[in-house]
Amino acid sequence: MARKKKSEITKQKDAILGFMRQFDQRPVTFTDYYNQFDIYTDQDKMFFKLIIEELEDEGKISRIARGKFTLSDAKKKNEANGIIGVLDHVNPKFGFVRYDDGEKDIFIESENLNGAIHGDTVSVVITGRGSRKGGNPEGKVIGIEKRGKSEIVGKIKVYDNYAIVKPDNKNFHEDVFIAKTSIFHAETNDLVIVKIVEYPSSFQQATGKVIEVLGQSGDNDAEMHAIMAEFGLPIKFPEEVETLAAAIPIEIEEEEIKKRRDMRDTLTFTVDPHDAKDFDDALSYKKIDENTFEIGIHIADVSHYVRPGTVLEEEAFKRATSVYLVDRTIPMLPEKLSNNLCSLRPNEDKLVFSAVFEMDLNGTVKKEWFGRCIIHSDKRYAYEQAQDVIESDENNIPEGSNAELRDCLILLNNTAKKLRKERFKKGAFNFETNEVKFELDENGKPLGVYQKVRKDAHKLIEEFMLLANKKVAEFVFWGKFSAKVKAEVKKNEEKTPTMVYRVHEPPNPEKVSTFTAFAGKLGFKINSNSQDALSNSLNNLMAEIEGTPMQSVLESLAIRTMSKAKYSTSPQGHFGLAFEHYSHFTSPIRRYPDVMAHRMLQHYLDNGASLSKDDYESKCKHSSDQEKLAAEAERASIKYKQVEFMSYQDRNVVFEGVVTGVTDFGIFVEVAGTGCEGMVRLADLNDDYYDYDPENYRVTGQRNGRVIGFGDAVKVSIMSTDLEKRSMDLELVEAGGKSFLNTSGGKKFSKGRSSRGGGSKSRKVIPPRKGGKRRKR
């Protein structure tokens, strides 16, 4: 029998469980199964029994006698009381309840939400199985276990006796009613935070009261604060946190210095963005002999200042990360810590936690040391300045640097390249995504947008930070064990000390298969037979598309194919970096997991016993969740500024672009150089009627045969921008070298409705009568 795909096995399991629900009075036998699913051959019976065993292992069915099965007690209880999951209200008409990574999401029509809103934890009963496209089970909400949101952000419209707030979040599809007495002092078009008083039901809309006015819609500060509030992220620090931070002395006590390795006389420097204020890390360099040098990776010792049991610690854990919006940083720590005490500023003594390595010129680590130090940074470089030094010659050293620093940077850059080459050789991915940056005026108005290109200076710092993160994780994992028992420990990892790891699991095979097929349609071959083959294929693909219109699009899709990195106490390795053990140690000013890693490393350096896995695992999950929210807020701020920037552009200007997506209602186009994506609606293409071909990611003209597909270079102009929705509509000016302006001889073709049948989707239109008019069917 041919090997079954994972998706086929999942469908088979769903069908088995659905069949078993019919048997309340008696157990199900293999004969029942065979009759139901038309199983006759020995091979099919053997495969079917393996699926039954898997369902047993998963706790979904129970064997009560030889060859007799029932739904497990847990499954029966689940069926009776409802499946518990989180609602993702993706569309005004429907949503999905996500409840298990191994199960299909449950489709819920909006009329069956029973008052639930986006983000709520709900109980759901299944009402149908896979009848809709995609095979998702269908259900209805029977109870709300936990509300996901008690506050929403939106724009208010004030009337004589009441007000209406339209939520900013695209997953909230109904307005909130505000009584006149609860308007606070808000005015029409203000952005406000609303506390929900009554949640919506099947017969009334949600009601609420305004608890904060952020400012007028369109004002930069108000919009940025609204984005933070939309994702439930704090803007200000509580007064008691600021008070405690302010009370921390700036001076370093002599007693503290005596406890540390003194490296103030070693050449030390930082390299950061030109506008950075918090310097997490510094590098030190000392030549040992012609073939060996010492490199110190020095990280701000946040854990010295932020102590467990204090409000500083509670607030740092609650935030878990700094948030980087387009025009500002919302720090994890108060400014006195992030920009002063902990920041490794030049010409100041600073307390650090360090990883110090003796290395040869090939990048091989000969010796390692971890511990607390005191340093004195000699020089602060912006990335651009460091790059100038790396590219300089010995007779033309940039002002502000010297021969020693130049030689140091060049040697470290050469070493970093060797470390990088070795990573790729071992299967690391080479994704070079460029960061979108804006030129803003004093009011936050975007004057320009550009993509920041990573050069050697960026990669130099990155490579040594990766080395420190890797070596810290390896030290904790293996540190307590001799070489003789390492092989046994690797098989029995629960014996290893608890540590906070940054893990990146291998990608889901179905996602890889989808991406491989997609790339194949575009003429690129991806070998996914093994992890090494996959990484080599993807790296070759990235090299092949570099500098082409497809680069940013395919890079983005490849990244989406990968699993999401997260924090965990389980040492699962980092697939993308090809590291067996990896932690986050190098950015404690902006990441709480790094603070945990510092504390845990010191605990083990002091010969402490293994720490509580359960306690740290819950902290890991919280940190991963906060990281996700911060990333969503950052993307929202970028999207807002991109659309704002495009809203100022002349409507007659023609932009280069690339097709980044194709649907049955429109073509997504990314405007070159801006990273801003807009939509060309098929209804606005007047030269022909276009059929949607989902198998080949393109649309095709019925009469002229024009093909517009994913990755095509096009030219567009702006039709309209919508800052509230952070969206933009575009007009197609040129595709495939052919103009789309005035192609219909001045006649505007009316559009029919797209059919919903299988295969390609086309607009059904009756041929035109005299006069060029068409009748729609």
| Pairwise CA distance, residues 82 & 77, whole Å | 8
At residue 451, the pLDDT reads 80
Contact 452, 434 (CB under 8 A): yes
Q: Which residue has the higher pLDDT, 373 or 431?
A: 373
- pLDDT beyond 80 at 79: no
**How many percent of the chain have pLDDT more than 90?**
55
| Pairwise CA distance, residues 20 & 69, whole Å | 9
- What mean pLDDT comes out for the span 313-337? 96
Domain 82-146 classification at class level = mainly beta
Q: Which residue has the higher pLDDT, 682 or 552?
A: 682
- pLDDT beyond 70 at 490: no
Render pLDDT for 414-434 as a digit per residue (tens, 0 to 9): 999 999 999 998 989 887 766
User: Could you identify the residue written with the tokens 């060859």?
Assistant: 67
**pTM value?**
0.81
Mean predicted lDDT score pLDDT of the chain: 86
**∠ at Cα 161 (160, 167), nearest 5°?**
95
- pLDDT beyond 50 at 611: yes
User: Could you identify the residue written with the tokens 């986050």?
Assistant: 584
Domain 151-217, what fold?
A: OB fold (Dihydrolipoamide Acetyltransferase, E2P) (2.40.50)
- pLDDT beyond 50 at 465: yes
**∠ at Cα 753 (751, 759), nearest 5°?**
115
Residue 249, burial from CB neighbour count under 10 angstroms (0-12, 13-18, 19+): exposed
pLDDT confidence bin for 750, thresholds 50/70/90: very low
CATH number 2.60.40 is the correct assignment for the domain at 6-76 = no
Topology alike, domains 6-76 and 649-777: no
DSSP letters of 471-487?
A: HHHHHHHHTTS-GGGHH
| Pairwise CA distance, residues 155 & 600, whole Å | 45
- For the record, the structure tokens of 384 come out as 């651009």
At residue 749, the pLDDT reads 41
CATH number 2.40.50.140 is the correct assignment for the domain at 649-777 = yes
Other beta carbons within 10 Å of 230: 24
Q: Which helix (H) or strand (E) element contains residue 352? A: strand 349-360
User: Could you identify the residue written with the tokens 């069908």?
Assistant: 15
Ranges 215-229, 378-392, 696-710: which has the least confidence: 696-710
pLDDT confidence bin for 22, thresholds 50/70/90: low
Domain ranges for the chain: 6-76, 82-146, 151-217, 241-500+586-624, 649-777
| Pairwise CA distance, residues 386 & 383, whole Å | 5
